[in-house]
Structure 1
Amino acid sequence: MTRTLRVVVPTPAHSQLSEPLTYASELPLAAGCLVRVPLGRREVCGVVWDAEDGAAEVLAADKIKAIGGPLGDIAPLSSNWRQLVTFAANYYQRSLGEVALAALPPQLRELDAGQLARRLKRARADASEAAPAQGPPLTPEQADALAAIRAEAGPFLLFGATGSGKTEVYLNAVQELLAREPDAQALVLVPEINLTPQLQARFVERFGANAVVPLHSGMTNPQRLRSWLAAHAGQARIVLGTRMAIFASLPKLRLIVVDEEHDPSYKQQEGARYSARDLAVYRARLEGAKVVLGSATPSLESWQACDRGRYRLLEMPSRVGAGALPRVRLVDMNQQPKHTLFSAPLMAAIRERVARGEQSLVFLNRRGYAPVLACGACDWRSDCPHCSAYRVFHKIDRTLRCHHCGYTERVPRACPACGNVDIAPLGRGTERLEEQLAELLADATRPDGTPARVARMDADSTRQKGALEQQLAQVHAGEVDVLVGTQMVTKGHDFRRITLVAAVNPDSALFSSDFRAPERLFSLLMQAAGRAGRDAAQASASEMWVQTWHPQHPLFAALKKHDFPAFAAQQLKERQQAAMPPFAYQAVLRAEARTQEVAQQFLQAAADSAPGLEGSEHVFVYAPVPMTVQRVANVERAQLLLESGSRPALQAFLADWQARLQSVRPRGLIRWAVDVDPLVI
């Protein structure tokens, strides 16, 4: 008998085909089956979303296309996985097809049945039982945290100081799970790809290489397919990945760990703008699994959830081995000579570390040599012709590079506007910091009499395959005395020899228009401080230096005491008074067009259509404005903000708004997107 099935296919966010399509099938395929189906003139991969929907005779036969057949010998995706995708699509205002198909490895859609069979066979051959070699003894704080995870339902917020051994708690929680349930699976999320190798090494050491599979965007398509198949078949016991791994198919999922849960990298900024951290909490509830969110500086949303009793707070304030957190020293730059980059006391402290054979970390959140190249005779700046931003000067390859659209040119010999040869860099990036530190330490020597060695680690220096691992190995081996880098070096790394960390210019975030800027800065500084003194033998001499023009700012008072609770309380009080998240809920409608006028015309029409929509009486719609970086790659960008004291009201409004947004779309609009719970406004 011919049956009809509803199949989700890959569709854009605002396509008219946002719902599952009906296809005919001679086979009784279960919901969750992967199938090939015709869509227009091409054949695509789809997911059977609903089980058998009745006989085909109820619809005109010529209007129903037949499926091309199931996609190899792959077990159906579970109902919990489909419910996760449905929730994410609805909450983040995307189509089912966009979320569902983006969650599958790209190569899965391209392979035939024979190729898939070979892949599955290889995945089964690679699989093995997790075999734990025991870890170190637990501290009392670690043991208490683990006991709570074992006994209670959660969700849990593991609030542990840097170096308190949160990773060991994760390892033991997974170890106990696998010992208790032979076929159980665990999902461990990290915020960035560069943190994956070192954490993977810890898990492989404990559980064996074949029990752990990575899943992140830096993998090749064949690698991603292999990991996905192993997880979907239940053969991979532990999946370790970045935010995309939240959608991994794990039929026996029993534990989710979100390391550095505060990190903004868990929020997708393109396509379906989901928060992997928030979906982790939802998925754990859906699967009947436990979820552990870990951080030394939790997000204010998670901290407030503990205050309100929604999360269980687990505290580990002490460092493993009785090591102390570094002493925080503020340098008042108002008292330093004009144009000082590195204050004399800071340089003296770095020299002392070099002489003792210890390491220092200097970080600045700006890569490149200088933010801008400028002419001394006219007003020319190295702006990008395609974006409303400057191209950054990269001295190492003599280029001007836009960090927004990627447009790159060789540095001109003279000013393009007036011909003046006196063009010079303004401001400093990590490349320039590396160069100047090397000059300042030219006469500094290590205990063996060899010169001090300065190295840089940022998105530019780690661009080549294997470069990150090589640089990390050099730091761990003591081949680097002073490491210069962006915030990528302040997260999660266990540098045992670093005893000094310096923040050169952190003040720009203190007075930002972004209300989340102080939270991000405090988190960054606390995380950076945590890289120092991780070896208990050197902890008493470890220091965090902060060069600031505003040493009396209350943020630094909390930093000196390593007092996150005090900082969080002050920030939450300000947020509550201003009715800002987490005491209110936000969404942003963004528009892109060839002209700013068209973008804002669409947004204004969208705002005008708001009255009368469901929940509109509880939603405030702000006026459209250009985005901070108004133009990127010759595309003009604008946005409007929506705010509500009620999450359900905002969700109802957004769902009802979608049809009107389609109807007011003007000619010339390139794309538009809704960002729910935005981190950047």
Structure 2
Amino acid sequence: MPDRSLSPTTPHDSAACLLCVAVSTPAHSGVGEPLSYASPRPLPPGTLVRVPLGAREVLGVVWDAPAEPAALPPGMVPRTVAGVLEGVAPLDAAWRRLVSFAARYYQRAVGEVALAALPPQLRDLTPEQLARRLRRPAPPAHPSEAVAKTIALTAEQASATAQIDTERGPFLLFGSTGSGKTEVYLHCVQRALAGHPAAQALVMVPEINLTPQLEARFRERFAPLYGEAAVVSMHSGMTPAQRLKSWLAAHTGAARIVLGTRMAVFASLPGLALVVVDEEHDASYKQQEGARYSARDLALWRGREQGAKVILGSATPSLESWHASTPASEGGPGRYLRLHMPSRIGSGDGAGTGELPRVRLVDMGQQPRSSGAGGVFSPPLLAAITERVQRGEQCLVLLNRRGFAPVLHCHDCSWKSDCPHCSAHQVFHKSDRTLRCHHCGFTQRVPRACPSCGNPDILPLGRGTEQLEEQLAALLRNVITPDRRAARVARIDADTTRAKGALEEQLAQVHSGEVDVLVGTQMVAKGHDFRRITLVAAVQPDGALFSSDFRAPERMFALLMQAAGRAGRDARYVAAQGSPPEMWIQTWHPDHAVYAALRRHDYPAFAARQLAERQEAGMPPFAYQALVRADARTQEAAQAFLQAASDAARAAGLPGLDQVFLFPPVPLAIQRVANVERAQMLLESPQRGALQRFLAAWQPLLHAERPRHRGLVRWLVDVDPQAI
């Protein structure tokens, strides 16, 4: 594709400066490097500019000129920069190096990564509009006269913070649920900010719903020291104006602390001194659209490159991080320093000690088939929930599937509520009598009768959180709490939290004790500090035990262990109640090794077993992977593109090919979404460098192959994929 920044007819002042500008070009255009533009005056790299691109005017970032600039095509002259966003200081060299590395490693264009990392409103504002925005008075950032609240550290917390203060890191803070990892983060941030007047800290969480409670704790600690404006958030749930305001505060240094989700890893932080990645194991840190980067891995790279300390925190670390933190004395690489906090604090002020919940397995093979709620709740579990509610305690029931039922089914003709656009079922949502596809979003009303044979008796198969909530409410309808009221059951999932502020309102009801039993998906199983929950139950967790995805047991173990951590977090409350916290797991496979390790809260034993299996099979972290995915009008077209690309790589003898194994193309598990067929091809190598060299050399061949396949919609490369 020709460089659309160049024109043979644009007037050009020979005295003008030639600039390299990173702009977001079409994904499959093959134009991945910064483009050439003319400017009447020199502009430093990192300057934000408006430039013409084709028939549009777009935002760009002045980029570093290559050591050997390429000659312009004969007869072509560069188009001229349309405007400069004068009020914004240039993005520094460290930020540009981060973007360049991310683009190179994840096989994307520099302009795509750079522009996606900037707040959307910057892309729309003209220089004049931005100047008016910047002239608006900012709220005063003076600290209040209040004294910052401090909490005495436990011996384990003090040991961890001392090592973080004195060692280089990076650090893996391996602390059990409720061990006080957040207090360690707060202490380390305070030390980092006190060390230099311009120092900044970045604290990341995996999901938006964890941001408000973390922000409240950081504001409580740091607003008295640095002012309310010193703490800002960055996540996709904010309005464009809010995101721009937070970004500018971080970019100018006015914000000393940035809290955010994975997108915050690209925040412009010129004084970055500390990076914290909480729940570092969570798959949400891997972007699944566009540039498929891992925010955790980029945080590690950024910290090393900028000289900032990096803390990865988790009760169930990713196997990659656990392996990297295995000391050399134990046969590991020892790249991270592992800090262990095994003891649970369990009370809000840091006093007292708490116990981890006892894990109880219910063998569903030994339970009566006609037990309560159609077999969902075994009699022992139902009795345990009832007893807790009668004592005024709260329970959490986990089912990682929203909706009422995964599918509607006709017993006469075997019709199922399949999505017409995807190779998946439409989920039955009873609350609004709809069938919804959770892949493409297609929604329709529930039919009055079977569309195939007319049978009016179509029934739901399987269970979702909506059905669980309804059935549990019926089972507990006669249970009375100590304050003489009927038990209340509530549900928190993606359906109940769609409205703005809904999640915060529902969490507040749980914290205030208005809810006795909370039914939810994984969004309530991690990070939340529920003080009165003493029992957690996972009712149908077995599916991940036999998944074709080799990471499924790791994700399952982490989810269940994190969910167990919601029980018994307040030691004083538990002691006053006299009932130790419990985690109940209903399973058809009680002897499985995953459950055996979970019963002992023995993550090291689980990790050791999993790593041994992966090493024997040559899987990450002992190998490096990439996926090439093709979307096309037919499955044949998708696989044909991938096979042709594989053949072209072999024919060209690309560098690194002797150390890269290309598997045959196969359909995805959900092979059709929104009437688009999807196929993928796995690449694997024992050497990261060999895989990177191969992918970089393969890019031109992939671009060249695309026009030869008319049915192809798009293709993409996913480096270090989290799901296969």
Q: Shorter-chain TM-score: what band?
A: over 0.9
1:123–1:226 Cα contact (<8 Å) kept: no
**Distance verdict in 2 for CA 1:129–1:197, change over 3 Å:** same
Tell me whether 1:246 sits opposite 2:265 in the alignment: yes
**CA separation in 2, counterparts of 1:632 and 1:359?**
40
CA deviation profile, 1:364-415 (whole Å, cap 9, x unmatched)? 0100000000112111100000000000000000000000000000101000
1:507 maps to what in 2? Answer: 542
Residue type matched to 1:182 in 2?
Answer: P
1:3–1:54 Cα contact (<8 Å) kept: no
Following superposition of structure 1 onto structure 2, how do residues 20-39 of structure 1 map, counting pairs within 5 Å? Answer: 20-39=34-53
Tell me whether 1:548 sits opposite 2:563 in the alignment: no
1:12–1:95 Cα contact (<8 Å) kept: no
1:306–1:312 Cα contact (<8 Å) kept: yes
1:476 maps to what in 2? Answer: 511
1:608 maps to what in 2? Answer: 647
Tell me whether 1:337 sits opposite 2:378 in the alignment: no
- What TM-score does the superposition give when structure 1 sets the normalisation length? 0.98
1:36–1:44 Cα contact (<8 Å) kept: yes
Secondary structure of 1:100 counterpart: helix
**Distance verdict in 2 for CA 1:123–1:366, change over 3 Å:** farther
2:535–2:584 Cα contact (<8 Å) kept: yes
1:72–1:114 Cα contact (<8 Å) kept: no
Residue type matched to 2:337 in 1?
Answer: R
Q: How many residues align?
A: 681
**CA separation in 1, counterparts of 2:517 and 2:674?**
37
2:139–2:229 Cα contact (<8 Å) kept: no
Tell me whether 1:135 sits opposite 2:154 in the alignment: no
Tell me whether 1:312 sits opposite 2:331 in the alignment: no
**Distance verdict in 2 for CA 1:123–1:332, change over 3 Å:** farther
CA deviation profile, 1:336-382 (whole Å, cap 9, x unmatched)? 11252101111111011111100000010100000000112111100
Unmatched 5+ stretches in structure 1? none
Moved more, 657-666 or 110-119: 110-119
**CA separation in 1, counterparts of 2:59 and 2:184?**
40
Tell me whether 1:529 sits opposite 2:568 in the alignment: no
1:174 maps to what in 2? Answer: 189
Residue type matched to 2:472 in 1?
Answer: L
Following superposition of structure 1 onto structure 2, how do residues 62-101 of structure 1 map, counting pairs within 5 Å? Answer: 63-101=77-115
**CA separation in 2, counterparts of 1:256 and 1:551?**
40
1:105 maps to what in 2? Answer: 119
Secondary structure of 1:396 counterpart: coil
2:30–2:700 Cα contact (<8 Å) kept: no
**Distance verdict in 2 for CA 1:438–1:301, change over 3 Å:** same
**CA separation in 1, counterparts of 2:179 and 2:24?**
44
1:658 maps to what in 2? Answer: 699
1:597 Cα offset (Å): 0.9
Tell me whether 1:485 sits opposite 2:516 in the alignment: no
1:128–1:211 Cα contact (<8 Å) kept: no
1:221 maps to what in 2? Answer: 240
Tell me whether 1:144 sits opposite 2:183 in the alignment: no
Moved more, 208-217 or 125-134: 125-134
Secondary structure of 1:451 counterpart: coil
Residue type matched to 1:66 in 2?
Answer: T
**CA separation in 2, counterparts of 1:65 and 1:53?**
22
Structural RMSD (CA) = 1.7
**CA separation in 2, counterparts of 1:61 and 1:603?**
38
Residue type matched to 2:641 in 1?
Answer: F
1:127 Cα offset (Å): 3.8
1:633 maps to what in 2? Answer: 674
2:453 maps to what in 1? Answer: 418
Work out which of the residue numbers 428, 439, 455 in structure 2 matches 1:393.
428
Residue type matched to 1:605 in 2?
Answer: A
2:671–2:677 Cα contact (<8 Å) kept: yes
**CA separation in 1, counterparts of 2:59 and 2:214?**
33
Tell me whether 1:14 sits opposite 2:15 in the alignment: no
2:282 maps to what in 1? Answer: 263
2:30–2:703 Cα contact (<8 Å) kept: no
**CA separation in 1, counterparts of 2:705 and 2:246?**
43
Secondary structure of 2:649 counterpart: coil
1:4–1:24 Cα contact (<8 Å) kept: yes
1:4–1:52 Cα contact (<8 Å) kept: no
1:573 Cα offset (Å): 0.3
1:36–1:69 Cα contact (<8 Å) kept: yes
1:457 Cα offset (Å): 0.3
Work out which of the residue numbers 697, 711, 723 in structure 2 matches 1:668.
711
Residue type matched to 1:584 in 2?
Answer: A
1:662 Cα offset (Å): 1.4
**CA separation in 1, counterparts of 2:309 and 2:79?**
43
1:24–1:56 Cα contact (<8 Å) kept: no
1:123 Cα offset (Å): 7.2
1:72 Cα offset (Å): 2.8
1:124–1:235 Cα contact (<8 Å) kept: no
1:234 maps to what in 2? Answer: 253
CA deviation profile, 1:223-248 (whole Å, cap 9, x unmatched)? 11111111111111111000001001
**CA separation in 2, counterparts of 1:346 and 1:52?**
66
CA deviation profile, 1:564-617 (whole Å, cap 9, x unmatched)? 000000000000000000000000000001111110110110111222111000
Secondary structure of 2:312 counterpart: strand
1:190 Cα offset (Å): 0.4
**CA separation in 1, counterparts of 2:113 and 2:61?**
12
**CA separation in 1, counterparts of 2:70 and 2:408?**
67
Moved more, 160-169 or 123-132: 123-132
Residue type matched to 1:250 in 2?
Answer: L
Secondary structure of 2:37 counterpart: strand
**CA separation in 2, counterparts of 1:67 and 1:663?**
31
**CA separation in 2, counterparts of 1:104 and 1:264?**
23
1:35–1:71 Cα contact (<8 Å) kept: yes
CA deviation profile, 1:633-667 (whole Å, cap 9, x unmatched)? 00000001000000000000000111111122211
Secondary structure of 2:528 counterpart: coil
**CA separation in 2, counterparts of 1:132 and 1:63?**
62
**CA separation in 2, counterparts of 1:285 and 1:55?**
29
Residue type matched to 1:559 in 2?
Answer: L
**CA separation in 2, counterparts of 1:153 and 1:57?**
44
1:262 Cα offset (Å): 0.1
Unmatched 5+ stretches in structure 2? 1-14, 327-332, 346-351
Residue type matched to 1:387 in 2?
Answer: C
Residue type matched to 1:311 in 2?
Answer: Y
1:457 maps to what in 2? Answer: 492
CA deviation profile, 1:56-78 (whole Å, cap 9, x unmatched)? 99887852111112113110001
**Distance verdict in 2 for CA 1:132–1:284, change over 3 Å:** farther
- What TM-score does the superposition give when structure 2 sets the normalisation length? 0.92
2:202–2:276 Cα contact (<8 Å) kept: yes
Moved more, 379-388 or 114-123: 114-123
**CA separation in 1, counterparts of 2:186 and 2:36?**
45
**CA separation in 2, counterparts of 1:61 and 1:620?**
45
1:113 Cα offset (Å): 2.8
1:301 maps to what in 2? Answer: 320
Tell me whether 1:560 sits opposite 2:575 in the alignment: no
